Amino acid sequence: MNQHLTIEEVHGIADGESQPDAHVRDCVRCSNAILDAVQMKRLVRDAMREEPAPASLRRRIRREPQRMTWLAAAAAVAAIIIGATMLLQRSQSPNAIAELADMHTTILASANPVDVLSTDKHTVKPWFEGRVPFAVPVPDLASTPFHLIGGRVVYWHGNQVAYLLVGKGAHRISVFVSPQHLGGAPPPAVSTLDWQVGALDFVAVGDVPEQDLAQLRDAFNR
């Protein structure tokens, strides 16, 4: 083959995408062109060299995944905090849902909102065994707009309550699961939904439209 290389072919060889053919070995013009392209690559690389990532960033990313979850939740929390003052004033009221809404805010604002961090129901569900005196139903959210973030045990009026943290985009929804009745009238600042399945009472709290909570409830009930 005696045809000179196209510019694309020259760069393709310099970029390591293809091998030089027999023509290149005999053609000064084409081999010089490849050499030139290789030198250009090197100049570009050297000119665009940047400092490595700062150690503080590396540490931040290395830190346990819980913190990373919290940082993403921060955006959602920021929105909730605005309503928090209002919620906190209600916290003296005996209203159970208001208390759970407070707990939702408090948990999201903590550095470690969940003790078991997993999107996998098969990790989260067994984690609760032995930690709460009932089996915690953890739904498969794969086909829903929700994703499981994790869970923990919270104490409410002296009883263990299973807590599941569910995300929808940047929004966070808390689902409290307990054999005790958790219901009551909801506070206006956040959406809440409570439902019962068998012996368990569920309360979902989040800064999302109520129909989202209904959809999440349906995912639990499927």
Partner 1 sequence: MGVEVLRMSEPQPASFEELALPLLDSLYRYARWLTRDRSEAEDLVQEAYLKGLRGFRSFIAGSNMRAWMFRILRNTFLTSRTGLRAVPPISLDEQPEIAESIADPVTPESNFLRNANAETLRRAIENLPPEFREVLLLCDVEGMRYKEIAEALSIPIGTVTSRLLRARQKVRKAFEEP
- Stretch 19-48 residues interacting with partner 1 (CB under 8 A): 29-30, 32-33, 35-37, 39-41, 43-48
For residues 154 to 193, the per-residue mask of contacts with partner 1, x marking binding by CB under 8 A and - elsewhere, is ----------------------------------------
Beta carbon nearer to partner 1, 112 or 160: 112
| Greatest distance between any 2 Cα atoms in the chain | 90
89, 93, 119, 196: residue in contact with partner 1 (rule CB under 8 A) = 119
**Spatial distance between the Cα atoms of 74 and 81, rounded to a whole number of angstroms:** 10
- Minimum Å gap between C-beta 208 and partner 1 is 18
Q: Tell me: does residue 124 bind partner 1 (CB under 8 A).
A: no
**Spatial distance between the Cα atoms of 148 and 151, rounded to a whole number of angstroms:** 9
- Minimum Å gap between C-beta 115 and partner 1 is 17
* Neighbour-count burial of 23, counting CB atoms closer than 10 A to its CB (0-12 exposed, 13-18 middle, 19+ buried): middle
- Minimum Å gap between C-beta 69 and partner 1 is 7
